[in-house]
Amino acid sequence: MDEKKAALVLKHIDRMPSLSPTVGKILQVANDPASSANDLNKVISLDPVLAGKVLKLVNSAYFGFNEKVTSTVRAIVMLGLNTIKNLALSTAAMETLTTQAQGGINMDEYWRHLLATGVFAKLIARKMNIHKNFIEDYFLAGLMHDIGKVVLNRLNPVGYSRIVNAAKEKGKPLYLYEAAIFGISHPEIGKILGEKWGLQPSLAEAISLHHSPSLVSEPNRKIVYSVLIANNYCRRLNVGFSGNVYIEQIPPNIWDELSIPEESLADLEGMLLEGVERASVFIQTTQK
């Protein structure tokens, strides 16, 4: 990071609001192994608006329950503390980052790319037989992996448009142009936001290291590598657009770590668009 160049960006990030105190308490309770559904419900109930949005997500086509869930306690019992935590966190984070500025990114296409990356990462997790309690971690990591781009696009839409076009014209990774012009790249911004918001390590690394797989810590490799692969697949398939057209080469050790062959992901592509449509409720919920 070029701190002199990045000073304006860092000042903007410093002024951004932290996540609500309720979300902070939700993270604390959900990460405590001794917590119960009632413990988490007491915290969520402190914010009726957030509780309502969580229930809307629980009752959406994304989860596909046959019965309507009318209480947060029931939702927590059905989905688990970790999933409810992720729903609350994603809702709060996306509301904080929602912007009408277009600049170098069409925001509808941007969010579609993030949804697609989350859906594909979740499909990879299922192929790896990740425990059901942690499947939604993969979706959330994919959904939030490019949050740093919103900051740059909102701060200087015209400038960001120029570097998006330059990276596309040269066929180079966007984050290189971000660092050259702004002094900071979207993964570095993601790292700062992760610290500001107190995100769990696996999510923080998915946001900050999805372009730097060699730096990922051993416990978080599966989730970060899944996001990296999902991100590339969604760019290749042109599902949404977040400003970057560069397709990265996936090192062989990543496939070895996930214990799945690259060719096995072809059958997931057919499920991607359907999954994105179901997951679109995440965007709809934060915009109301």
Residue-wise pLDDT for 153-166, tens only, equals 988 989 999 999 99
Q: Give, for 284, the enclosing helix (H) or strand (E).
A: helix 281-286
pLDDT over threshold 60, residue 288: no
Could you give the CA distance from residue 37 to residue 256 in angstroms, rounded to a whole number? 37
pLDDT over threshold 80, residue 101: no
Tokens of 206: 């998915």
Could you give the CA distance from residue 151 to residue 253 in angstroms, rounded to a whole number? 32
Which region among 47-56, 92-101, 115-124, 127-136 has the lowest average model confidence (pLDDT)? 92-101
pLDDT over threshold 90, residue 105: no
Q: What is the mean pLDDT of residues 18-34?
A: 86
Q: What is the pLDDT of residues 255-268, one digit of tens each?
A: 999 999 998 888 88
Q: Tokens 């179901």 correspond to what residue?
A: 278
Residue 140 phi/psi, 5-degree rounding, is -65, -40
User: pTM of the full predicted structure?
Assistant: 0.91
Could you give the CA distance from residue 227 to residue 232 in angstroms, rounded to a whole number? 9
Could you give the CA distance from residue 73 to residue 213 in angstroms, rounded to a whole number? 38
The domains of the chain are located at 3-17+101-286
The amino acid sitting at 117 is T
pLDDT value, residue 99: 57
Sign of dihedral through CA atoms 103, 104, 105, 106? positive
pLDDT value, residue 203: 94
Residues in CB range of 46: below 8 A, 6 or more apart: 22, 25
Could you give the CA distance from residue 205 to residue 191 in angstroms, rounded to a whole number? 8
Which region among 6-10, 19-23, 111-115, 254-258 has the lowest average model confidence (pLDDT)? 19-23
Which region among 20-24, 34-38, 235-239 has the lowest average model confidence (pLDDT)? 20-24
Identify the CATH number of the domain defined by range 3-17+101-286. 1.10.3210.10
DSSP state of 19: P
